[in-house]
Amino acid sequence: MKRLLIIPLLATAANAAPVEFTTHIAPIIFRNCAVCHRVGEAAPFTLTSYDDVKKRAKLIAKVTHDRVMPPWHADKSDFAFLDDRRLTPQQIDLIQQWVAQGTPEGDRAKQPALPKFPQGWQLGKPDMIVKMTHAYSVPAEGRDIYRNFIVPLNLNEDIYVKAVEFRPSSPSVVHHSLFFWDTTGAARRSANASGITRFTPMQRENKGTGQLGGWALGATVRLLPEDLAFLVPKGADLILATHFHPSGKAEEETSTIGLYLTKEPPKRAFTGIQLPPAFGALAGVDIPAGEKEFTVTDSFVLTSDAEAFGISGHAHYLGKKLSMTALFPDGSKKNLVSINDWDFAWQEQYTFDKKIPLPKGTRLDARVTWDNSATNPHNPTNPPKRIRWGPQSEDEMGSLTLLVTAPDKSNIEEINRAQVQHVRDAGSAAIARLLQDRNGGGTLVSVFFKNNDKNGNGKIEREEAPRWLVASFDQHDTNKDGALDEKEIQAAQAKLFQGLRVP
Ligand code: HEC
């Protein structure tokens, strides 16, 4: 009997059941939108009341339908993400129906309360707050600016950091900031009176320096999973490597950084596996004007057991699709992340709901696709022009970074050793490509002779040596005959390209 009653009710709901703000729409907006669309946060207007939402109802129907809002660019993958912000098709449909029905308010008594949002710091009051020592002036116009700032931490003991929250004073010009620590004093030695230093400890092999993650516009701050933390040794300075993008208006930036600490030493180590490495610097990113699908792929086989806990992508305006899959030793293949409508404005760090076991031998396959056609609405140049890898926003970069941990520190050390080799291999391939493209092939030595042995006697005399070789000429002239032969040039290059297998 009951059953018979329910069916006709559902049928009317699908057709024209009234959709009201207080019962249907407010719960969606308050949960999925108000976190940014409230006073003091990143979004340009608030969505915290009926009037707010009604005023922009048509635009809200459009941006939710097109999945522009809420910003979340990862498609549903084989593994769930924490705090997935995407709306369900039913929620999107409800918003469309509500707008079609003229945005009725409904019974005010039924409206849910706004969630309790943290004010200011997203993770609550930090254990330690530090600030840039001097304001940095960003001009109204001009190219992108990269600056490294030294921020003394004055630590008397080692600390274990669970999260770093970055609050720019001028969010409109700060595009991203990467965080490092340095105990070598190198950053201090090269710092000027305004706290700007030339030093970035990017190399993971550097002793006495380390990374602390980073911040980018649109990213959500999270604590590291329970058994992980960054160790920052006593005496370390913090270094912010910040990328500014002039906004049309001169701004002053004084970033504030909150550190969230734990007393517990971390039980596990972790690392990031970046594919292709160096944000794609060695991957031959050279995108012809008009090319709709320029793709770079890179693969890395895990040399030790690991567990993945997070993933992120990075590309600039022309980035279109970024994905990473895992091919397991048993032959099964799973999708780790798949972003099919990359947006430079939203550099989200995705955290997996549960750690994903990746046994030794698992192959990670990354794929980045750029769209340099006039139909890409994000293309900053019209008509499109050839774009290569580079640090400016108008240049391109592209890579995915998988965060992995393991029960034992030795697993992570093993993976990092394999990564160093992976970067060297990418460097060797990049040199081979340069030889091919610029010189029509040949070995580095043969090309060197072709370009420098002007008198063609098979030796490089002092007058023929390029500038980088002049200072160390005598050192490389091991047989002391006043000229460098093929063997001596080969030895000099081996020194220059340490660890690379150059052709
Ligand atoms: C993570 C923060 C965040 C969340 C969550 C978020 N927004 Fe936004 N929203 C922004 C920011 C920042 C902008 C302005 C920059 C932009 O347009 O990209 C914006 C812009 C908008 C715009 C203006 C778009 C335009 O074309 O002018 C609308 C409408 C909007 N959001 C609606 C929503 C709705 C509806 C939701 C929830 C379903 C939502 N937003 C969730 C941050 C957010």
Residues 106 and 35 in one domain: yes
Note the pTM of the prediction, 2 decimals. Answer: 0.82
CA 68 to centroid of ligand 1, rounded, Å: 8
> CA 282 to CA 45: how far, in whole Å?
42
CA 2 to centroid of ligand 1, rounded, Å: 43
Give residue for tokens 């703000």: 21
Residue at 352 is within a domain: yes
Residue at 502 is within a domain: no
Residues 72 and 133 in one domain: no
Q: How far is CA 145 from CA 206, 238, 271, in A?
A: 25, 20, 28
Residue at 120 is within a domain: no
Residues 285 and 411 in one domain: yes
377 CB-near residues (< 8 Å, 6+ apart): none
CA 167 to centroid of ligand 1, rounded, Å: 20
Atom of ligand 1 lying closest to residue 70 CA: 41
Residues 404 and 356 in one domain: yes
Q: What is the 3-state secondary structure (H, E, C) of 129-164?
A: EEECCCCEEECCCCCCEEEEEEEECCCCCCEEEEEE
Residues 22 and 71 in one domain: yes
467: containing domain: 442-496
CA 69 to centroid of ligand 1, rounded, Å: 5
Domain count, the chain: 4
Residue 474: CB atoms within 10 Å: 11
Backbone φ and ψ for 425, nearest 5 degrees, come out as -60, -40
CA 63 to centroid of ligand 1, rounded, Å: 8
Domain termination residue (choose one: 396, 415, 434): 415
Atom of ligand 1 lying closest to residue 343 CA: 18
CA 64 to centroid of ligand 1, rounded, Å: 9
> CA 222 to CA 169: how far, in whole Å?
20
CA 402 to centroid of ligand 1, rounded, Å: 27
**pLDDT 10s digit of each residue in the chain, 503 long?**
334 344 333 334 445 689 999 999 999 999 999 988 988 777 889 999 999 999 999 999 999 999 989 988 899 889 999 988 899 999 999 999 999 999 999 999 999 999 988 878 889 999 999 999 999 999 999 988 989 999 999 999 999 999 999 999 998 899 889 899 999 998 999 899 999 998 776 554 567 888 898 888 767 788 998 789 999 999 999 999 998 989 899 999 999 999 999 998 898 999 999 999 989 999 999 999 999 999 999 999 999 999 999 999 999 999 999 999 999 999 999 999 999 999 887 878 899 999 999 999 999 999 999 999 999 989 989 899 999 998 777 899 999 999 999 989 999 999 999 999 999 999 888 888 888 887 787 888 888 898 899 999 999 999 999 888 888 899 999 999 999 999 999 888 887 777 677 76
Atom of ligand 1 lying closest to residue 85 CA: 5
Pocket test for ligand 1, best of 25, 32, 35, 37 (most atoms within 8 A of CB): 37
- Angle between the N-to-C axes of helices 444-452 and 486-496, in degrees from 0 to 180, rounded to the nearest 10: 110
Domain termination residue (choose one: 77, 110, 143): 110
Pocket test for ligand 1, best of 21, 25, 33, 56 (most atoms within 8 A of CB): 33
Residue at 430 is within a domain: no
- Distance between alpha carbon 396 and the CA centroid of its chain, in Å? 13
CA 150 to centroid of ligand 1, rounded, Å: 34
Residue at 59 is within a domain: yes
> CA 392 to CA 376: how far, in whole Å?
19
Q: How far is CA 318 from CA 210, 263, 292, 375, 501, in A?
A: 31, 43, 10, 11, 32
Element (H, E) at 412: helix 409-439
Ligand 1, atom 18: closest residue by C-alpha: 345
CATH number at residue 486: 1.10.238.10
> CA 6 to CA 8: how far, in whole Å?
6
CA 371 to centroid of ligand 1, rounded, Å: 24
- Check: CB of residue 115 under 8 Å from CB of residue 34: yes
- Residues contacting ligand 1 via CB (< 6 Å): 32-33, 35-37, 42-44, 56, 59-60, 63-64, 69-71, 85, 87, 345
Ligand 1, atom 28: closest residue by C-alpha: 60
Residues 97 and 148 in one domain: no
Ligand 1, atom 27: closest residue by C-alpha: 59
